Amino acid sequence: MLLGLAAFGVAQSAVANDELVKMQQDPNQWVMPTGDYANQRYSKLDQINATNAAKLHPVWTFSTGVLRGHEGGPLVIGDTMYVHTPFPNNVFALDLNDNGKIIWKYEPRQDPNVIPVMCCDTVNRGVAYGDGKIILNQADATVVALDAKTGKEVWHVKNGDATKGETMTAAPMIVKDKVLIGISGGEFGVQGRMTAYNLKDGTVAWKAYSVGPDKDLLVDPNKTTSMGKPIGENSSLSTWQGDQWKTGGGSTWGWYSYDPGTNLVYYGTGNPSTWNPVQRPGDNKWSMTIFARDADTGMAKWAYQMTPHDEWDYDGVNEMILADIDIKGKPTKALVHFDRNGFTYALNRETGELLSADKFDPAVNWATHVDLKTGRPEVVSQYSTQANGEDKNSRNICPAALGSKDQQPAAFSPKTKLFYVPTNHVCMDYEPFKVSYTAGQPYVGATLSMFPPKGDTNLGNFIAWDADKGKIAWSIPETFSVWSGALATAGDVVFYGTLDGYLKVVDAKVGKELYRFKTPSGIIGNVNTYTHGGKQFIAVYSGVGGWAGIGMAAGLSNGTDGLGAVGAYKQLSNYTQLGGVLTVFAVD
C-alpha cells in the first residue's frame, strides 16, 4: 500500500515540485514560509542595500485584528499576499495592487478550549502554497486546503486531537505532491510524528512517529543510520522504560527543509515528555533528533540525537539550513542547525555525519562540549537536573529552557558565507517534580525561572556565525531575546526584528546598524522580501507574544508562569503592547 502510494506520487509529484522549485528561485515572490527548501531565508534582491537602507520607510500596513503573538510571515505569490494570524488562524489574501485591500478572508471556527492546551502562546508560523492551494494548520489540529484564488475550502483533515493536547503551530511544507504536517504538544505527552498528506485530497501518504516501534518510526534497522552506524532494531523502544514512549513527546513543531538533490526532508523533534528527567530513564530516542527522510516514502535515511535524555527542555526542532559550504575548511553538502541547547551542529546532510558542534553563545554551560565521535554532549553534573534530582532546584543553567535559540529562524548568505542568528541569552533555575499523565492536562513536571546570564543585562544577541570556523563573526546585543526570524539579501544587508518592536537593518559584513523603525508591537515574525511592479519591498509582522512574550500575550504576571518566561521578560510591557500588524517597507 505504501509502495503503491509512493509510486503514484512520483508521477504527479514532478509537477508540483517543479512549480515550487521554480517559484522559490524567483526572488520577486516569497512562496514558502522558509523562503526556500534550504531554509536559507536569503533573497537575491539587491535594490535595498547598505547604501540606501537608511532611506527605508513603511509604505503600507495591515492590522490583522488579532492580538496575540504573530510568528511566521506572509507569502507573496504574484500580486497576492497571504497573511495569517495566530488563533483563530484567520487567513487574508491581500491585493498588492491596492495597498493590501482584502481579496478574500478565511475565518475558521475553532473551539477556544484549544487555547489553554497551547503551551507557549497561540502562535502559528504560516501557511504554505502549492498547486493552487493554500494549506493552513489550525491550532485545533485541523489541516485545511484553500483555493488560493477564492479562499474556498478544498479539503480538510484532522491531524490530531486537541482535547489530548495535540495542537498545531508549525507551518506546513509542500514537497512534490505532498504536504508535511507536524504536531505540537510536548508539554501534554503527545506522541510526536510527521505526517505527509497528499496535496490533492488530504489523504495520508505516510506518517512517521518520533518515538515507538520501528514500524511506526518508518526506519529500516539495517539501513537507517545514526553517527554512521545502522540504528538497529527497537532503537526507540529500547531507550524508554516500559510504555512511557506512548506519551513520550518528540513533537515536530519547528521548521522543515528539503533537498531536491537527495530527495530528503529534514526536521527536528522536540523534548521527551515529561520535563522531569528522573521519571523517564534512558536516551528517550528519537526525541531531540534530526531526521533525514525520503520525501516520497518517509523512510528515515539517518537520524542524529542532539540531546539524549533531555534534562532541560532543549527541543531539537529548530530549522536545518542546507548550504554547500566549507566546514572546517572542507567543501561540504552541509546541514547547519542552531539548536536550543546552545550548540551549532554541522552535518553532512547526505550521510548524517557529524562534522562540528560549537557553542554559539559563550554563556552555554550545561555541557562542556559535544564528542564528535559519539555525538553525545558532555554534561556538567552541576547543571544536570537528573543528577540533582526531583524537587531539587538546579541553578544557573545556561541556556534556559527556551534555548540559546528557539523557533526564530536564522538566515544564511551565500555571498558572505555567514549565518545570521537571532538568539536568546537566558539562563534558568530548573526544578523537576513527579507528574502523572492525564490526557489533555499539562505533563510538564518541572518549574523554572529565567534570567540573563550573571553579569549581563541583555537577554538576546543577534549574531553572525561563521560555520566554517565554528565561531561568532560579530554580535549585536539586544535588550530582549531576538524572537524574530532573519532575512539576508544580495544587497549585503540583514533584517531582523526585536521584541521591543524595532525592525532593524544591519550591514551583512560587519553588523553595523543601518536603519531601525519602531513597528506597532514587538516583532516575533520573520522578515521577508519580494518585488511588486519592479520595486523591492520588505514585509514583517509585529505582534508581541510567543514563549518569550507569553506573559503579555496570555496576561500572566507571576514570575515562574509561562513555563518560566514571565519573570525574565516582565519589563517587556514597558516597551510595547499587543497587536498584530503587517508593515511593508520600501525605499523611495
CB-based burial label for 203 (10 Å; 0-12, 13-18, 19+): exposed
Sole binder of a second copy in the list 42, 82, 87, 92 (CB under 8 A): 92
Residue appearing with cell numbers 531582523: 496
Please tell me whether residue 580 binds a second copy under the rule CB under 8 A. yes
List 456, 470, 517, 556, residue binding a second copy (CB under 8 A)? 517
What part of residues 104-143 is at the interface with a second copy (CB under 8 A)? 105
* Alpha-helical segments (H) within 200-304: 214-217
State the nearest-atom distance from the C-beta of 77 to a second copy, in Å.
20
> In the window 535-554, what residues touch a second copy (CB under 8 A)?
542-543
The Cα–Cα gap between 191 and 184 comes to 9
Cα–Cα–Cα angle for 86, 523, 492, nearest 5°?
A: 125
Choose the binding region for a second copy from 217-225, 265-273, 406-414, 518-526 (rule: CB under 8 A): 518-526
Residue selected from 328, 518, 557, 558 as contacting a second copy according to rule CB under 8 A: 518
Q: 171 or 578, CB closer to a second copy? A: 578
Q: Which amino acid is at 298?
A: G
Residue pair 524/543 in contact (Cβ under 8 Å)? The answer is yes
Query: By C-beta, is 65 or 511 nearer to a second copy?
Result: 65
DSSP string, 457-489: --SEEEEEEETTTTEEEEEEEESS---SBPEEE
Cell of 100: 493590501
Residue 454 burial (10 A CB sphere; 0-12, 13-18, 19+): exposed
From the list 150-158, 171-179, 470-478, 514-522, the region that binds a second copy by CB under 8 A is: 514-522
Please report whether residue 150 would count as binding a second copy according to CB under 8 A: no
CB nearer to a second copy: give 101 or 434.
101
User: Which of the stretches 168-176, 244-252, 417-425, 567-575 binds a second copy when contact is defined by CB under 8 A?
Assistant: 567-575
The CB-of-521 to a second copy minimum distance in angstroms stands at 4
Q: Which stretch binds a second copy (CB under 8 A): 53-61, 310-318, 323-331, 488-496?
A: 53-61
Applying CB under 8 A, does 574 fall inside the site for a second copy?
yes
* Near a second copy by CB under 8 A: residue from 35, 86, 100, 546: 100
Asked if 581 touches a second copy (CB under 8 A), the answer is: yes
CA-CA distance, 536 to 487, in Å (whole number)? 14
Residue 18 has φ and ψ, to the nearest 5°, of -55, -45
- Tell me if 531 sits within 8 A of 45, measured CB to CB: yes
How many angstroms separate the CA atoms of 452 and 332, rounded? 36
Known catalytic residues are 313
Q: How far is the CB of 70 from a second copy (least distance, A)?
A: 11
| Of 7, 25, 101, 330, the one binding a second copy by CB under 8 A | 101
Find residue 128's DSSP bridge partners. Answer: 135
Rounded-to-integer distance, Cα 575 and Cα 548, Å? 14
**Residues for the chain: how many in total?**
588
The nearest distance, CB 518 to a second copy, in angstroms, is 4
- Alpha carbon distances (Å) from 225 to 229, 302, 304, 319, 339: 5, 5, 9, 21, 21
Give the range of 2-10, 64-72, 338-346, 560-568 binding a second copy by CB under 8 A.
64-72
Q: What is the DSSP letter of 112?
A: G
- Bridge partner residues of 267 (DSSP): 291
Contact indicator for 317, 253 with CB cutoff of 8 Å: yes
Residue 557 touches a second copy, criterion: CB under 8 A: no
Near a second copy by CB under 8 A: residue from 521, 528, 529, 536: 521
Q: Which is nearer to a second copy, 438 or 571 (CB)?
A: 571
> Is the sign of the CA dihedral 336, 476, 422, 503 positive or negative?
negative
User: With binding defined as CB under 8 A, does residue 63 bind a second copy?
Assistant: yes
The three three-digit cell numbers of residue 9, written as one number: 506520487
282 forms part of the interface with a second copy (CB under 8 A) = no
Single out the residue of 27, 69, 520, 546 in contact with a second copy (rule: CB under 8 A). 520
Q: How far is the CB of 552 from a second copy (least distance, A)?
A: 8
Q: Does 433 bind a second copy (CB under 8 A)?
A: no
Region of 319-327, 369-377, 470-478, 574-582 interacting with a second copy (CB under 8 A): 574-582
Q: Cβ 60 to a second copy, closest distance in Å?
A: 4
Count other C-beta atoms under 10 Å from residue 485's C-beta: 33
Task: Please tell me whether residue 102 binds a second copy under the rule CB under 8 A.
Answer: yes
185 sits near a second copy (criterion: CB under 8 A): no
CB neighbour class for 442 (10 Å; exposed up to 12, middle 13-18, buried from 19) = middle
What residues does 515 pair with on adjacent strands? Answer: 505
Q: Does 52 bind a second copy (CB under 8 A)?
A: no
Cβ distance to a second copy smaller for residue 43 or 542: 542
Contact between 519 and a second copy per CB under 8 A = yes
Of 522, 517, 509, residue with least CA distance to 580: 522
How many residues lie near a second copy (CB under 8 A)? Answer: 34
* Interface stretch with a second copy, choices 9-17, 315-323, 444-452, 573-581 (CB under 8 A): 573-581
CB of 398 to a second copy, least distance (A): 29
- The Cα–Cα gap between 193 and 181 comes to 9
Cβ nearer to a second copy, comparing 8 with 517 = 517
Q: Are the C-beta atoms of 205 and 154 separated by less than 8 Å?
A: no
Asked if 292 contacts 302 with a C-beta cutoff of 8 angstroms, the reply is: yes
Q: Spell out, one character per residue from 7 to 46, where the chain touches a second copy: x when CB under 8 A holds, - when not.
A: ----------------------------------------
Q: How many CB atoms lie within 10 A of CB 455?
A: 6
Contact between 80 and a second copy (CB under 8 A)? no
Q: Nine-digit cell at 213?
A: 516501534
Binding site for a second copy (CB under 8 A): 57-65, 67, 92, 99-102, 105, 517-521, 542-543, 573-583
